[in-house]
Structure 1
């Protein structure tokens, strides 16, 4: 069947025996370096993914929190004033001064900077003693439950106890 010019191919299993397979020198070094690089990239990817998930979950609850940290505890919300302190802020009746009546420009003292509503003549307002800023009672009470500072100038609210 075989023609005169063709040779038959004989397969020998001894040629492909991997008992003598050995890795030496640079090949071993390249394999170790390649494995280390792949491991390092994988660890960095998982740390990055963890940070992104944490920042998305924390920013969903607190949009002003942009810090990304792996080991820091979640930031606590700022504490406001207690109800007794908020209720001890004196309520006054708003009266427009003659300068406010003649002024055509918008005056910051004639509107509540929380709700941006204009104060009406005879309306009940609270004036913070530390900075003299004026707000609607309901607006500033809601603010002071979660914050202990003035909404406009961030001065710490202090209430002088009546003596």
Structure 2
């Protein structure tokens, strides 16, 4: 059947359908369906894992109400029991040993030791510091500020 302008009109001939062409289209559709199913499955797993992890985190309100951790510093009685010495500037003898504290500055505040100033000597390492400086340090730390030797009475 021809149209008035000489163009052929598309005609449907349902008797000569070839089923092999439909087979390739259905395979592509099936693979596309599997791909989107996998994407949805993986997205669901990710969201579920995210929800589980968010449930395990402690809330900020619970963290505020929690009791604070004990201070890692030393006991005030132990700090007060440390020996106090007076600093004296002594000219060393020819051998360089004078029997006094050889340090000339506090490694906490970096201030120089003055004559007749109170210093505390740590028993483990014999490092000397201003009494006020080392008291503040040891109330929050349990080691020597210079060499990190442990001063905790419970450790061997």
SS of aligned partner of 1:122: coil
Alignment of 1:111-130 (within 5 A): 111-130=105-124
Which consecutive residues of structure 2, in runs of 5 or more, have no partner in the other structure?
6-28, 61-67, 93-101
TM-score calculated relative to the size of structure 1: 0.53
Q: CA deviation at 1:42?
A: 5.8
TM-score calculated relative to the size of structure 2: 0.55
Partner residue of 1:84? 77
Q: CA deviation at 1:95?
A: 1.3
Structure 1 Cα separation of the partners of residues 152 and 43 of structure 2: 58
Change in Cα spacing, 1:94 to 1:43, as seen in structure 2 (3 Å) is: farther
Partner residue of 2:38? 33
Question: Is the Cα contact below 8 Å between 1:126 and 1:136 reproduced in 2?
Answer: yes
Question: Is the Cα contact below 8 Å between 1:95 and 1:122 reproduced in 2?
Answer: yes
Q: How many residues align?
A: 107
Larger Rg: 2
- Provide, for residues 68-116 of structure 1, a one-character-per-residue CA deviation record: whole Å limited to 9, x for no partner: xxxxxxx9565111111010001110112314xxxxxxxx810000000
RMSD: 3.6
Structure 1 Cα separation of the partners of residues 150 and 85 of structure 2: 20
- Structure 1 segments, 4+ long, off by >3 Å, are 36-47, 75-78
